[in-house]
Structure 1
Amino acid sequence: MIALSLAEIAEIVGGDLRPAAGHDPASIVSGVVDTDSRQMTPGGIFVAKPGETTDGHRFVGAAIENGAVLALVEHPVDEAISQIVVPDVVVAIADLARAVVARVRASGDLRIVGITGSNGKTTTKNFLARILQDEGETIAPIASYNNEVGAPLTMLRITDTTRFLVCEFGASAPGEIARLAGLVHPDVAVELMVGLAHAGGFGGIEETARAKAELVAAAAPGGTAVLNLDDPRVAGMAPLAEEQGLRIVGFGQGPAAAVRAAGIDVTASGTSCIVHVDGQELPLRLQVLGAHHVNNALAAIAAARALGVAPADAIVRLETVQLAERWRMQPMGGAEVRIINDAYNASPDSMAAALRTLAQITGPDERTVAVLGAMSELGETAGDEHDRIGLLAVRLNIQRIVVVGADARRLFLAAVGEGSWDGEAVHLADADAAFEYLQGELRPGDRVLVKSSNSAGLRFLGDRLGESFS
């Protein structure tokens, strides 16, 4: 974080400053800001956030041991550290992030990109960060720091020399993206897609589209809206972007896209296409698996282009990315049994894309195995969407369908109803049962997809399989 005095921080967050012995209101802090005491480093600011299972106030002492010099708290704690007492530490870090970003923006050349969408946010964020880091100091979220806590913590990592801040905005209810994007008003707003992820929280697909459009509404006047023209609901955000005075750059595979892909080819070693942009035809060879990552790459190229990076340079840098993120289409295992661990999260769209990728990368002498768990937060559409994925798996000729957990049972029943019987589809109670079954079932030549929402916990099953068959 930039250097601020204790008094300045207290004023920004509207808190009651209680300096420790030897500190006074003018004392300067500039260390890392985090809710995890284990991540503290000398000079850090610890945010004592109450949680569902524990309370950050219990870990102020541990934060001190790791170097914290200031704690944001909701009630005073009996520890030898300067404290700022606020009614709500989550609101406080948002206020602090807004002020810090505004100061850096006013005094430097900071450019900000906001990314949202039902799928692909983290991959696109990583793609764009890789492109921009060769242009100057770039801050981007760790993992999926895209909520009311993670987004401000990412913003607070900037310094006076940061040139690019890449923000990822997730949401499970209306208004959340507006609040987060409103902290920074991005220069470039990237809209990836509108799908059924978190549809239960929004109440339906049209409500989801309106929530995603909050990013366009929060963009800085004179900025750029990067829109996926392959998605009608995203393309429909163009009038709003025009009202906001934004320049519109479309990406996708249709002829209207300014950054367009053609000739997509998916293999077990990567994904290739030709990128059409500015009258050029540029070959792109991603090491990341899956045709669905092409649009994520196009979005990153378009956003970087809006920031002055030549598409040819962006492509060279994208081709060095070996992994989108841990647990996202992550190749594991060995030469004989290949595991693709894509179980960090799942929606109907990402589940379908992963299954299609599995079918595309498996050779004629190899066998497809899909290990599937529940998709969460789908609300009243959950049953139908699990049915649809079960049907798709059979129609893609996935040869073994291993369904894990009670919440995914409808997926199994749909697969059986579509014709996946006689042991081709099995339903197992939990990850341990699935691991035991797969230990005896998998054989050389198998290509195995592990896919579920985070809550199903199958990412750890994917790790176990990857280690077992390495």
Structure 2
Amino acid sequence: MIALSLAEIADITGGRPHDIPDPSVRITGPVVIDSRQVEPGSLFVAFAGEQVDGHDYAERAVAAGAAAVLAARPVGVPAVVVPDVEKALGALARAVVERLGTDVVALTGSAGKTSTKDLIAQVLQEHAPTVWTPGSLNNEIGLPLTALKATGETRHLVLEMGARGIGHIAYLTGLTPPRIGLVLNVGTAHIGEFGGREQIAQAKGELVESLPPEADGGIAVLNADDPLVRPMSARTKARTVLFGEAEDADVRATDVRMTPGGQPSFTLHTPTGCGEVTLRLYGEHHVSNALAAAAVAHVLGMSTPEIATALSGAGTLSRWRMEVTERADGVTIVNDAYNANPESMRAALRALAAMGGAARANGGRTWAVLGPMAELGDASLAEHDAVGRLAVRLNVSKLVAVGGREASWLQLGAYNEGSWGEESVLVSDAQAAVDLLRSELRPGDVVLVKASRSIGLERVALALLEREGEVAGR
């Protein structure tokens, strides 16, 4: 964060200094909400959560080097006391971004946000200093914390924006107004909360509505292949740039093909040229993500050869998202257990099927270890049934459905599609899945692990890699 005095922070947030001997003291370290992350000169933001109250850790944070605390009440150490800590953090982020004048790139979508954000970050980092959302910290707290990582040298600020209802993205864009807004897709993630895809489209489109007009540099980057995203061009005065495989897309892919190991290659076309791309990521769905990243890089001035080279070198930055690890015995674990919705589940299964070609050539099998998809409302039964059926249609060797009612729907879908005998199995929990896999895996097998975040199915992948200790840090 750019250095600000405590007096300036109080003015920006509408707070009052408390127990601050010298209001001219400046925050020179990071803004953090975890006292264990405090560095000298930090600002510690005290949130009162359901289980932990950050105010109880204020003294510890200052003892560790924090210059002050942003708090809702006096805490016995130097603090700026504000009526609402969340709103104060947002106001601070907006003030810092406005002072920096950096290019803000915001993106949203039902699936692929984090993978695409990671691609954009890696490509733009080749162009100029870039700050981006770590992991999926894309809400009212994570977004301003990311923005506050920007410094005077930051040229690009890439922010992922999530939504669980109408108005959420409008609120986030108010904290860090973007100049470039990217909408990836409109799917069925959280459809149980929104009520329908049209409502999801309404929420995602709030991003393009927030953009400045074309005359002021506003650019909406939209998926030409998504029938609910393309029409969003009518909801903005910004310039529209289309990406996709459609012939009229400004940034598009042709000659899409898959390597034997399941990694996509294609020819990238932009208004300034073309280049060959072979992604290090797994699954054809990443072609769309890569085109979105290429479109953002193009409008920010990168040449097509630069973009193609950067995309070909980009990897996975965020954990538990199609993380591919080959064990010493030749078994490959694909940990995609961070989250799941119907679109991402289908994409992951297709990626597994693509990887299966190489697996079968080596005498191996493909395993889909799948758990429930949350927040689907009335569509839950049909969507779980459809995923189970797709696993059979893609010739996945073994389906392991993990959990209760929703998992039984996965297994039933596979059964009704023709997966009988030992091709599909329902197990009660992650440990049962681990026990089954440990007894049956053989060299050459490929194992996909995927479910909604709340299920914690990453435990299966980590156990198979003998890295269970990583779960505690999630």
TM-score by length of 1: 0.94
Match of 2:239 in 1: 247
Match of 2:347 in 1: 353
Match of 1:88 in 2: 84
Residues 109-128 of structure 1, C-alpha deviations (whole Å, 9 max, x = no match): x2110111011111111111
Match of 1:297 in 2: 290
SS state at 1:415 partner: helix
- The amino acid of 2:91's aligned partner reads D
Matched, 1:146 2:138: yes
Aligned-pair identity in percent equals 47
Q: Aligned residue pairs: how many?
A: 458
Match of 1:435 in 2: 434
- The amino acid of 1:416's aligned partner reads Y
Match of 2:10 in 1: 10
Aligned mates of 1:75, 1:184 — CA distance in 2? 26
SS state at 1:369 partner: strand
Match of 2:60 in 1: 62
Aligned mates of 1:366, 1:99 — CA distance in 2? 56
SS state at 2:175 partner: coil
Match of 2:459 in 1: 460
Aligned mates of 2:390, 2:431 — CA distance in 1? 26
Structure 1 residues 467 and 186 mapped into 2: Cα distance closer, same or farther (>3 Å)?
same
* 1:266 and 1:361 in contact (8 A); partners too: no
* 1:288 and 1:324 in contact (8 A); partners too: no
Which stretch has the larger CA shift, 125-134 or 146-155? 125-134
Residues 361-419 of structure 1, C-alpha deviations (whole Å, 9 max, x = no match): 11234311100011112122112111111111111111100011114221112212222
Aligned mates of 1:62, 1:220 — CA distance in 2? 43
User: Where in structure 2 are the equivalents of 1:145-224 lying within 5 Å?
Assistant: 145-222=137-214, 223-224=218-219
Aligned mates of 1:181, 1:318 — CA distance in 2? 27
1:265 pairs, out of 249, 257, 264, with 257
* 1:19 and 1:25 in contact (8 A); partners too: no
Aligned mates of 1:175, 1:142 — CA distance in 2? 23
Match of 2:95 in 1: 99
Matched, 1:36 2:29: no
* 1:266 and 1:289 in contact (8 A); partners too: no
Residues 80-111 of structure 1, C-alpha deviations (whole Å, 9 max, x = no match): x3111122211110111111111111xxxx21
- The amino acid of 1:186's aligned partner reads P
Deviation at 1:279, TM superposition (A): 6.0
Match of 1:312 in 2: 305
Match of 1:283 in 2: 276
- The amino acid of 2:128's aligned partner reads G
User: Where in structure 2 are the equivalents of 1:365-380 lying within 5 Å?
Assistant: 365-380=363-378
* 1:266 and 1:357 in contact (8 A); partners too: no
Aligned mates of 1:398, 1:269 — CA distance in 2? 14
Deviation at 1:269, TM superposition (A): 6.0
- The amino acid of 2:432's aligned partner reads A
Deviation at 1:316, TM superposition (A): 0.8
SS state at 2:221 partner: strand
- The amino acid of 2:389's aligned partner reads L
Match of 2:220 in 1: 225
Structure 1 residues 169 and 67 mapped into 2: Cα distance closer, same or farther (>3 Å)?
same
2:332 pairs, out of 320, 325, 338, with 338
- The amino acid of 1:428's aligned partner reads V
- The amino acid of 2:375's aligned partner reads E
Match of 2:318 in 1: 325
Which stretch has the larger CA shift, 51-60 or 390-399? 51-60
* 2:364 and 2:442 in contact (8 A); partners too: no
* 1:331 and 1:341 in contact (8 A); partners too: yes
Deviation at 1:236, TM superposition (A): 1.3
* 1:370 and 1:402 in contact (8 A); partners too: yes
* 2:223 and 2:242 in contact (8 A); partners too: yes
Structure 1 residues 279 and 86 mapped into 2: Cα distance closer, same or farther (>3 Å)?
closer
Which stretch has the larger CA shift, 261-270 or 385-394? 261-270
User: Structure 1: which 5+ runs fail to align?
Assistant: none
Deviation at 1:135, TM superposition (A): 2.3
- The amino acid of 2:124's aligned partner reads L
* 1:170 and 1:177 in contact (8 A); partners too: yes
Deviation at 1:324, TM superposition (A): 4.8
Aligned mates of 1:66, 1:348 — CA distance in 2? 45
* 1:393 and 1:401 in contact (8 A); partners too: yes
User: Structure 2: which 5+ runs fail to align?
Assistant: 469-474
Q: Which runs of 4+ in 1 moved over 6 A?
A: none
Deviation at 1:72, TM superposition (A): 1.0
Residues 49-89 of structure 1, C-alpha deviations (whole Å, 9 max, x = no match): 111221111222332243211111112223xx311112221
Which stretch has the larger CA shift, 148-157 or 255-264? 255-264
Aligned mates of 1:262, 1:156 — CA distance in 2? 39
Aligned mates of 1:375, 1:216 — CA distance in 2? 28
